[in-house]
Structure 1
Amino acid sequence: NDPWAVFDSNASGGFSNNWAAQPEGTETGKTSSNAWPSGGQGHPQAYQGPGAEDDEWDEEWDDVKSSGGYAESEAGEGGAINRGGAHGSSMKIALNKFPGFSKSGPELYLLSKLPAKGTKLSVYTGEVGPVWAYPDYQLDCVVADPKKGSKMYGLKSYTEYQVIPTTTNKPVIHRYKHFDWLYERLLEKFGSAIPIPSLPDKQVTGRFEEEFIKMRMERLQGWMSRMCRHPVVSSSEVFQLFLSYKDEKDWKMGKRKAEKDETVGVMVFSTIEPEGLPDLDLTEVEQKCEQFNRFTKAMDDGVKDLLTVGNEHWKRCTGPLPKEYQRIGKAFQNLSSVFTSSGYEGEAALTDALTAAGKTYEDIAQMVAEQPKKDLHFLMETNNEYKGLLGCFPDTIGVHKAAIEKVKEADKLVATSKITPSEKTAMSKRASTMSYALQAEMNHFHSNRIY
């Protein structure tokens, strides 16, 4: 039997381990459409908000939706998405004099007056090209010790986990909704520049079953480890709060501060500073963008193909293949029994050999059925994680494509006195900064992919 079959039939949009069932969808399986053509709506993996059955979400968190948290929104021109939420609309910028310019697309960064410099995200020249500034100490954490908790006299139940960062080695307690809050903050803050993969799906029915809890903890661990390895995400204030808040008061204060952050969406590029790197011309910016788009699309196709083939192999190993070996083993042993009934002296040497061969085939059947859990499981989990991550690239790259299109319009806007020549120069310079951020992110992605 397929050990993950119990999770495959979840009809409530929750946990699913059926990798090949939605080969063209995202990790969450919330859409079956291909995420790659630009101009789609929203983030392919964006959390859809708590449903009617979500009993882990309570009144304490009702203000999340009014805090400018990321939600699916209509795409702007050129595939740019609205990642700024309420914060984007709060920026005091008069852009309506520019035809076709929205308040949520890349032009918010390309033409706005930049906020005062806060935390700087540096990009340097490394051996492989532009790279993020990496910390001296590699952060990591352990997600462990899942426990069932309850509130309201047992009416509400949930699972809580210990998260232990290597920086303090002191555990902090988090529920799934806390991980989800972190995901929304990271997506809102960095999603225009850094692909933020979604969390493993939340399952409502049967979510306290031991196998499900174990698997979700493994996937939360994988998600946290990936975030820890990212130099920008791991050093961010909101991520550090999640890993090392001191007490409930510290957590709530940090939470409110993170939700009021205005350097979100495309404005995150205003914090990026290429150190000693020359400005790129628009042709080179566009070439790099297309190069990364082609690679991530091709890798996405390859990963999905491997998941499809791997899932088919899993089903064969846990279904018809071991049954065939069992049938062969049974046939050998049946023949041995027939020969034994002859009563002929000297029969034992042959019948013992036939019986041994039959039992060996039965052992092989068991080995074949158990093997996927020992090796294929980890291959599939890793590729499933990459499938989710690659599903984020179309929107992130879409922001860059939209910015390139806006810069291409600059000459026309100057000619019609919509913008000044100095504003056109600033747009080109900022598009170059965006390109360096994309190159640094792709070099980080390749490094993690290989090492």
Structure 2
Amino acid sequence: MEAYVLSADGIKGQPGERHEIIIADGLIRWRGDSKPYVCTVDKPKKETKMKGLKSFIAYSITSSLSGIQVSRRYKHFDWLHEILTAKYITIALPPLPEKQVSGRYEDDLIDHRKHILQLWVEKICRHPVLSKSDVWLHFLTCTDEKQWKNGKRKAEKDEYIGGSFLNCVTSPDAPLNPNDVERQVEMFNRNIRQMEEGSRVLTERMNTYQRLLGGPVKQNWQKLAAAFSALGHSFKDDGAGPASMRMADALQTTAHHYHVIGDDFETHAKNDVERVLERVYSYRGTISRVPDICNIHKQAITKWRNTENAVVEGKISESQAVKVKQRVDNTSYVIMAEVNHLNAEKTEDFKQFIGAYLRQQQAFYQQMANTLGDLAKQFE
């Protein structure tokens, strides 16, 4: 970043990518893609190599951009994540799922990883810069093994990484007040710390809730089911006639549905609650990059203040200072564009997944209420 600000990065070639920052509705934003697209991660399949000595899971990825279906392993996602992280140091990338323990391919684990990867590709597709990244598009569309390797080598030799990536960005000519931008970035950083703490507590509580649903809550419903069943047998064996037999049947039916409700709680924990945990995991992993991004901006502002002092001391010329200020402004535009993108994404994400979860909660408990209501009618 220092080399970029001081025009000392030594890059002479033309960047392959071009990105633009605009001011819209009073906010600094990345210019969005005129043709947004989506990706789907699906069909996880266990494959082998080395004559079956080594196994791995391959995922099918299809984008609406090209319609091409490619097969990628976790190691391919991991490689891409490293490349994107190194190139776009001012962009908060979402996290990949945690690395899998060798040889563990249980269905639940594979499904969990697929959902996290789906969230990952969704975030990339929605980002105005990442969605147009050359290496990402190569990952998404290349099906030829030779071309795939050539594309990897090209990405690994890319000069426009780190601070040098800012050479690929065009921002408005209007100069920015470094102090104003610094205050906005610091305010955003404080808010992110609050969001991280809130998300951490939510994760902790939802994990506890999930364990309770699949453990004690399920067991208590099924223990009650056993109690109703035992009581039903006593009515069945009392020899008191049709009324007792009807009571025995009603109790046995109640026992059956209580047992099913217990299983439903476990399913609810695995599906609905797990989706919330995955979303919060993705968000927390994304904002974990924010302190580093804010620090990059702080370094650029510090470099500008040092430059101002150097002008006063006669160590550098006014024309040199103007160039430094232009690059510091470009850095500030990039940081603010990312800040505003993250704020917009945060609001939309939480609105969607919390709303979806509450609707699932409503449907789950409504179904249970209907079942209990039907059971009550058998005792009328």
Is 1:108 paired with 2:6?
no
In 2, Cα distance between the equivalents of 1:448 and 1:134? 13
Deviations 1:307-335 (A, max 9, x none): 11111100110111122222233233333
Deviations 1:245-287 (A, max 9, x none): 2522222222222111111111212222113x51111111111
| C-alpha deviation, 1:204, in angstroms | 3.3
**Which residues of structure 1 form unaligned runs of 5+?**
1-105
Amino acid at match of 1:240: L
Query: Would the alpha carbon gap of residues 150 and 328 (structure 1) be closer, same or farther in structure 2, given more than 3 Å must change?
Result: closer
249, 266, 284: which is aligned to 1:387?
284
Q: 8 Å contact 2:221–2:259 — kept in the other structure?
A: yes
| C-alpha deviation, 1:108, in angstroms | 1.6
For residues 239-388 of structure 1, the aligned pairs below 5 Å read 239-245=136-142, 247-275=144-172, 277-345=173-241, 346-388=243-285
Q: 8 Å contact 1:285–1:431 — kept in the other structure?
A: no
SS at match of 1:347: helix
Counterpart in the other structure of 2:93:
196
| C-alpha deviation, 1:353, in angstroms | 4.2
SS at match of 1:375: helix
Query: Would the alpha carbon gap of residues 172 and 369 (structure 1) be closer, same or farther in structure 2, given more than 3 Å must change?
Result: closer
Q: 8 Å contact 2:224–2:255 — kept in the other structure?
A: yes
Counterpart in the other structure of 1:185:
83
| C-alpha deviation, 1:416, in angstroms | 4.3
Query: Would the alpha carbon gap of residues 128 and 340 (structure 1) be closer, same or farther in structure 2, given more than 3 Å must change?
Result: farther
Query: Would the alpha carbon gap of residues 150 and 324 (structure 1) be closer, same or farther in structure 2, given more than 3 Å must change?
Result: closer
Counterpart in the other structure of 1:222:
119
In 1, Cα distance between the equivalents of 2:218 and 2:122? 36
Question: Structure 1 vs Structure 2: percent identity of aligned residues?
Answer: 34
Amino acid at match of 2:90: A
Amino acid at match of 2:160: T
Amino acid at match of 1:274: S
Larger displacement relative to structure 2 (421-430 or 437-446) = 421-430
Query: Would the alpha carbon gap of residues 109 and 150 (structure 1) be closer, same or farther in structure 2, given more than 3 Å must change?
Result: same
Q: 8 Å contact 2:55–2:103 — kept in the other structure?
A: no
Larger displacement relative to structure 2 (228-237 or 326-335) = 326-335
Deviations 1:143-201 (A, max 9, x none): 233333333333333332332222221222322222222111111110x2101233212
Query: Would the alpha carbon gap of residues 144 and 325 (structure 1) be closer, same or farther in structure 2, given more than 3 Å must change?
Result: closer
Query: Would the alpha carbon gap of residues 247 and 362 (structure 1) be closer, same or farther in structure 2, given more than 3 Å must change?
Result: closer
Indicate the structure with greater helix content.
2
| C-alpha deviation, 1:351, in angstroms | 4.2
Query: Would the alpha carbon gap of residues 416 and 173 (structure 1) be closer, same or farther in structure 2, given more than 3 Å must change?
Result: same
Q: 8 Å contact 2:62–2:69 — kept in the other structure?
A: yes
Q: 8 Å contact 1:139–1:166 — kept in the other structure?
A: yes
For residues 402-441 of structure 1, the aligned pairs below 5 Å read 402-441=299-338
What is the TM-score normalised by the length of structure 2? 0.82
115, 118, 123: which is aligned to 2:21?
123
Structure with higher Rg: it is 2
| C-alpha deviation, 1:232, in angstroms | 0.8
What is the TM-score normalised by the length of structure 1? 0.70
Is 1:145 paired with 2:43?
yes
In 1, Cα distance between the equivalents of 2:19 and 2:115? 31
Deviations 1:210-257 (A, max 9, x none): 333333223222212211211211111111111122522222222222
Amino acid at match of 2:191: F
**How many matched pairs?**
344
Q: 8 Å contact 2:60–2:71 — kept in the other structure?
A: yes
Query: Would the alpha carbon gap of residues 350 and 249 (structure 1) be closer, same or farther in structure 2, given more than 3 Å must change?
Result: closer
Query: Would the alpha carbon gap of residues 324 and 151 (structure 1) be closer, same or farther in structure 2, given more than 3 Å must change?
Result: closer
Query: Would the alpha carbon gap of residues 108 and 137 (structure 1) be closer, same or farther in structure 2, given more than 3 Å must change?
Result: same
Q: CA RMSD in A?
A: 2.4
| C-alpha deviation, 1:342, in angstroms | 4.1
Amino acid at match of 1:153: K
Counterpart in the other structure of 2:365:
none
In 2, Cα distance between the equivalents of 1:153 and 1:135? 45
**Which residues of structure 2 form unaligned runs of 5+?**
349-380
